[in-house]
Structure 1
Amino acid sequence: MRARRLTPTGDQPATYSWQPSPGELAVAVVQLGHAPGINGAHEAHSHDFPGIAYFSEPGGIVRTGRQVRHVEAGDLLVVAPGDVMGQAASDDLVGAQGWGVFFTADALGRDTPGAHLAWRTHPLLFPFVHGGATGALRLKVPAAQRHEWTARIEALRDELEHRRDGYREAVSAHLVLLLVAVSRLAADVVGDLRENAEPLLAEVFDVIERRYPEPLSLREVAAAVSISPGHLTSTVRRRTGRTVQDWITERRMVQARRLLAATDLPVGDIGRQVGFPDAGYFARTFGKRHGMSPTSWRRFNHLNSA
């Protein structure tokens, strides 16, 4: 997993963006705790992709938003795009043992909405749509289920590390089961989240989800949700760490990667389908985001997926 740091504006924390490499499964597992091989220090930041942090053993603290929380056994943090994780020291998690699991919309298939607040209607992703309003959602895994959680995450990590035959299907299955478990735990806490959390942002991301294949500007999104472009810009940046235009481009790139990987459509046709009438501008935008042209990305994807 290689996340790209986006330069913050003003007093905003940094945002990290994950653009999957060609052929890469957009799923990562990292160990959490305090040990010689684990450096838990990090700056205050947010991600534009979702993740969870699960702790099987207590110890130390985590900083989410402006809150400092003592880690207890069974703690599960559901980290939505835009949730700010506070600056951490390397010894914050002394005694704790746990795992972080991160992924992008690409990992759940071609039909998964790419705009993150459009996830509120998705049965596995609705816990990840709170968008920084309250910090990471904290849930508790019951004691009787903790061994199963640890085993599931370790199995997911094992598949990602060893890449045996069929590992892609195995990773997908483990991730789906993990998200099912998250959704079941979250159901009682955020039962009305699909409709009521961050209603303005949900409306904004609905507009992006519906209209990203066509020309779409900040002013047009603002007009669609009946607020000023300035207010929309400040609200989205405050809640997610990114601009409206960033999210429009990200949604287009998600679909472009899907079409490059799954079809033989010409690159120019793919660009037009995802909102870039000018093939050259599409190629430049894709290259800036991914470090290579759409044609090269497709070629490497096919080689790495074989």
Structure 2
Amino acid sequence: MRTQRTALQGDEPARYAWRPAPGEMPVVALRLGHGADFDGAHEAHSHDFPGIAYFGTAGGVVRHGRRAREVEAGDLFVIAPGDVMGRTRSDDLLGAHGWGVFFTADALGRDTPGTHLAWRTHPLLFPFVHGGATGALRLKVPPKQRPGWTSRIEALHDELQHRRDGYREAVSAHLTLLLVGVSRMAADVVGDLRENAEPLLAEVFDVIERRYAEPLSLREVAAAVSISPGHLTSTVRRRTGRTVQEWITERRMVQARRLLAVTDLPVGDIGRRVGITDAGYFARTFGKLHGMSPTRWRRFNHLNTR
């Protein structure tokens, strides 16, 4: 894995870009811990690609945003592009045993509809849209699932190391199953935000979740959380890198993709069910975000449930 460090501006943390070489799979699995592939010694930084850090046992400290957290057994840190990981010391991960998995959206398969688009638009990558100065999202893998997580990542690492016949397909399969696990644990976005000390964002997401299927504006969200629209806009953008309206649109598109995939509802009806009454505007919005019309997306992704 070769990354390129971008020049700093003022006191901004370093940002690293990963551009896989031709023929290189855009996936890497690194052991985390003192004396492992990565021992924690690093400047404050962020990435332009997503990743996860999983610890099967307790030990050490992870620094993200402006916080330092003692690693507990089952900790899973979901690292979005733009998440700031704090400046660390070489002994931060002393006693820790874990894995880091980093990737680009292309790792899910170039032939899969939608994966050539930005990572934000892929359903399995939705947990990675929270990126910002607050640092990585912290989830907890249930005790009974922890051995499975460890063995899955070890199998991924083994495939990347030995590159046996079919390793590309095996890597994509292992990565997909890992992301399914992340997606299921991160389904309660509001609960995760409260757990990670972001009560205002939790309230905003709660309003969006309850009301995205009806006409909903920035002013209405601001009124619901008792804050001015201007203050809300600046706070949400600073915390997540996105505007309130972008989050409303994102939630609507998640539901639109689900309805396109599992129902035969007309496109206009789907637009109305996700809060966009103008069928033309719904189609244009969907096309802008996904690089194809709702009808074409359905053709590639529709699931026959009969």
Query: Which whole-Å deviations, capped at 9, do the CAs of 1:169-190 have from their partners, x for residues lacking one?
Result: 0000000000000101111235
C-alpha displacement at 1:123, in angstroms? 2.1
**Highest RCO, 1 vs 2 (Cα 8 Å, sep ≥ 6):** 1
Q: CA deviation at 1:159?
A: 0.1
Aligned to 2:159: 159
2:44/2:84 contact within 8 Å kept: yes
Aligned to 1:247: none
Residue 192 of structure 1: CA displacement? 11
The TM-score normalised by the length of structure 2 is: 0.61
User: Which residue matches 1:106?
Assistant: 106
Determine the structure 1 residue equivalent to 2:126.
Answer: 126
Q: Is 2:176 the counterpart of 1:176?
A: yes
Distance in 2 of aligned mates of 1:22 and 1:36: 27
Q: Is the 8 A contact 1:127 1:190 kept in 2?
A: no
For 1:84, the equivalent position in structure 2 comes to 84
| Percent of residue pairs bearing the same amino acid type | 69
Residue-by-residue CA offset, 1:266-294 (whole Å, 9 max, x unaligned): xxxxxxxxxxxxxxxxxxxxxxxxxxxxx
Given the superposition, is the C-alpha separation of residues 4 and 73 from structure 1 closer, same or farther in structure 2, using an over 3 Å criterion?
Answer: same
- 1:70 alignment partner in structure 2: 70
How many correspondences in the alignment? 201
The code of the aligned residue for 2:4 comes to: R
Indicate how the Cα distance of structure 1 residues 172 and 95 shifts in structure 2: closer, same or farther if over 3 A, else same.
same
> Secondary structure at the residue paired with 1:11?
coil
Whole-Å separation in 2 of the counterparts to 1:108 and 1:238: 24
Q: Secondary structure of 1:73's match? A: coil
TM alignment of 1:279-290, pairs within 5 A: none
Q: Structure 1 residue 19 and structure 2 residue 19: aligned?
A: yes
Secondary structure, aligned partner of 2:124: coil
Q: Distance in 1 between matches of 2:240 and 2:187?
A: 26
CA distance in 1 between partners of 2:137 and 2:36 (Å): 29
Gaps of 5+ in 2: 194-203, 206-229, 243-306
- Tell me the secondary structure at the aligned position of residue 91 of structure 1: coil
The offset of 1:131, in angstroms, is 1.8
Amino acid in structure 2 at the alignment position of 1:87:
R
**CA–CA distance in structure 2, aligned partners of residues 128 and 156 of structure 1:** 20
- Structure 1: gaps (5+ residues): 198-226, 241-306
- In the TM superposition, what whole-angstrom CA distance separates every residue of 1:95-117 from its partner, at most 9, and x where no partner exists? 1100000000111223215334x
TM superposition shift of 1:39? 3.2
Cα distance in structure 2, aligned partners of 1:145 and 1:177? 13
